[in-house]
Amino acid sequence: AFPGAPRGGLYTIIMAAAASAADGAAEPGMEPEELPRGCGGEGGSPAAGRPPEGGERPEPPDASVSNGGDAAGGRELVELRVIWNKNKYDVKFCLDSTGAELKQKIHSLTGLPPAMQKVMFKGLLPEEKTLREIKVTNGAKIMVVGSTINDVLAVNTPKEAAQQEVKAEENKKEPLCRQKQHRKVLDKGKPDDVMPSVKGVQERLPTVPLSGMYNKSGGKVRLTFKLEQDQLWIGTKERTEKLPMGSIKNVVSEPIEGHEDYHMMAFQLGPTEASYYWVYWVPTQYVDAIKDTVLGKWQYF
């Protein structure tokens, strides 16, 4: 019995206890915790699969035109065959890309750094011009010569050794143009139909044969550089010799005294000087281009 409870008040006590229990269920501070509005949104944890605020992933940039795909965005592609070290690569390349960009593509194909590349299309490929500007067309053959850094460091090639030996011998001798074997040709004078020379300038090989020169017997000779076949054609009135570039051991040259805008030049076809094929009155602006093309690598002297 509860103190002070009226007699016969059991029902009243039971009902009061029930009411007190009901009130306790809603006692302040005991309300169930509600989730914040918009769970995973502002002020809450990120929803599964969604980045947090400020962390949205940017849209990827538009992909550039693939060299192996079709034209995109109106960019015109041209099909090329890149030839390097007896390897051939068929690629598609943007016609409005520059020679420097083509060198980067060749680097990705061959591993040959752009600085070590000599890229030829009708002569040395200009880096600053686009393929469209130099009139590259579908099916064009792009010749690449050069050695990788590992190749250069790995071995001192026979060609380099031969070049060093020849230069040492040349330093001991009188100028070539004064030697008797050459004087009999040079004394004939400059040919009337020899190609014009430009002193102090280096140019790419012309698209036509170098003609109007003399050989060691005083006969007319012309040089044709067949880059797509990696051959040098030496033509005379009687015959045309087709020489693979790789068979030529060395190339030497010297300005002609009194006519320094022309050179006398020899192609070494065998192991000794007796194998030199001499050509006289080569225009000076083509001398470096001939050496680079025939020897197939940079000159280090």
Q: What is the mean pLDDT of the chain?
A: 76
CB atoms closer than 10 angstroms to residue 169: 11
Q: Does 265 score more than 90 pLDDT?
A: yes
| Mean pLDDT computed over 255-282 | 93
Q: Does 184 score more than 50 pLDDT?
A: yes
pLDDT for residue 300: 38
pLDDT for residue 146: 81
| Mean pLDDT computed over 183-208 | 91
pLDDT for residue 35: 39
> Residue 297 burial (CB < 10 Å; 0-12/13-18/19+)?
middle
Decide which of 185 and 22 is more confident.
185
Q: Does 280 score more than 70 pLDDT?
A: yes
pLDDT for residue 172: 58
Percentage above 90 pLDDT, the chain:
39
11-20, 111-120, 154-163: least confident range: 11-20
| Mean pLDDT computed over 226-252 | 92
pLDDT, one tens digit per residue, over 27-82 is 444 444 443 443 333 333 334 444 444 444 444 444 333 344 444 456 889 999 99
How do the domains of the chain map onto residue ranges?
77-152, 176-295
142 and 81 Cβ atoms separated by less than 8 Å: yes
pLDDT for residue 234: 95
Q: Does 236 score more than 80 pLDDT?
A: yes
| Mean pLDDT computed over 146-170 | 63
DSSP annotation string for 154-207: H---HHHHHHHHHHHHHHHSPPGGGSHHHHHHHTT-S-TTPPP--TT---PPPS
Give residue 118's identity as a one-letter amino acid code: K
Assess if CATH 3.40.50.740 describes domain 77-152.
no
108 and 50 Cβ atoms separated by less than 8 Å: no
Order the strands of the 118-120 sheet from edge to edge: 87-94, 77-84, 140-145, 118-120
Give residue 149's identity as a one-letter amino acid code: I
> Residue 245 burial (CB < 10 Å; 0-12/13-18/19+)?
middle
Distance CA 53, CA 45 (A): 10
Q: Does 155 score more than 70 pLDDT?
A: no
pLDDT, one tens digit per residue, over 68-107 is 444 445 688 999 999 988 889 999 999 999 999 999 999 9
| Mean pLDDT computed over 155-169 | 62
Q: Which of 7-11, 63-67, 131-135 has the highest mean pLDDT?
A: 131-135
pLDDT for residue 62: 40
pLDDT for residue 122: 85
Fold identical between 77-152 and 176-295? no
174 and 181 Cβ atoms separated by less than 8 Å: no
The CATH architecture annotation of domain 176-295 reads: Roll (2.30)
